[in-house]
Amino acid sequence: FSSPAIYKSFVYFGAYDGNFYALNKETGKRKWIFMEADWIGSSPCVAENLKIVYVGLEFGLWKKRGGIVALDAETGKKKWEYINMPEYTHCSPAYSKKFGAVAIGSNDGIVYCFKAKNGELLWKYQTGREIKASFAFDEKRGLIAFGSFDKNVYVLKIKTGELVYKIETEEAIYSTPLIREDSLYVASLDKNLYSIDLKTGKVVWKFATNARIFASPEMIGDNIYIGSNDGRLYELDAKIGKNTAFFQATERITNKIAYTPKTKKIFLPTFANEIYCLSREIGQ
């Protein structure tokens, strides 16, 4: 469940053996291991300017189910931790350099926002159900966006956690939003990808796929790419939501694509443990 993060010569990932691993990204040799969790389904994020890596933790204890830890990115030494969450923390943390904040959600439906450097709890925000995916920051406007299993997309103020607005979808959200310029893109298990005007909170367009969407959107140029459980990777015009191309895989697509600008290659993982390497034909 944990996607890797890269920093300098390190690659980081968590596993359901309860360990958080730091490997040499060239050789795969272990550099250090953090072993204090029972399970890790969270994906790490790195604050490069602070040289800290963050990850969510899960525990098998009665009143200690979830938390977050901040580790020195090079040595693995614990900088700070918050392990007082009453439910499992599967959510992946997100970091804002401008605001010096790191946010994470938990299965208790709460978003926790901390001072990234020392772990001071800045604010908490309660939603109606679990928060499974991660967050998108709009540092220009000072906003943070995320989805909840209560079927809503939330937009809060980064500094205070105050609700700016929320948008209701027809099903739970297990997808990390994407913010580009004045638009917020988020997928729902109701099979739709939504484009939302960040200024007004109004839905500009929505695009329906043929199955639930767990994957997160990505943007390349002027196009949005989103995978669906129908096994199809969709290319959409970001402004109007028109489907301009697609690739049909053999299985469900539950993760977002990775793109290499230098080679213009798209890497697409599927639920069948496959990875496709795709290229967009010029003029097509």
Look at residue 27 in the predicted model and tell me its pLDDT. 97
Q: How far apart are the C-alpha atoms of 52 and 46, rounded to whole Å?
A: 6
Q: Which of 47, 12, 29 is nearest to 21 (CA)?
A: 12
Residues 187-238 pLDDT 10s: 999 999 999 999 999 999 999 999 999 999 999 999 999 999 999 999 999 9
Look at residue 64 in the predicted model and tell me its pLDDT. 84
How many residues appear in the chain? Answer: 284
- Reported for 231-235, long-range contacts at CB under 8 A and 24+ positions apart, including other chains, are 231/270, 233/257, 233/266, 233/268, 233/278, 234/193, 234/207, 234/209, 235/280
Q: In which element (H, E) is residue 235 found?
A: strand 232-237
- What average pLDDT does the structure give for the chain? 95
Single-letter amino acid, residue 102: V
pTM for this predicted structure: 0.93
Residues 60-77 pLDDT 10s: 987 789 999 999 999 999
Rounded percentage of the chain residues whose pLDDT exceeds 90? 95
Q: How far apart are the C-alpha atoms of 111 and 124, rounded to whole Å?
A: 6
Tokens of 214: 């767990």
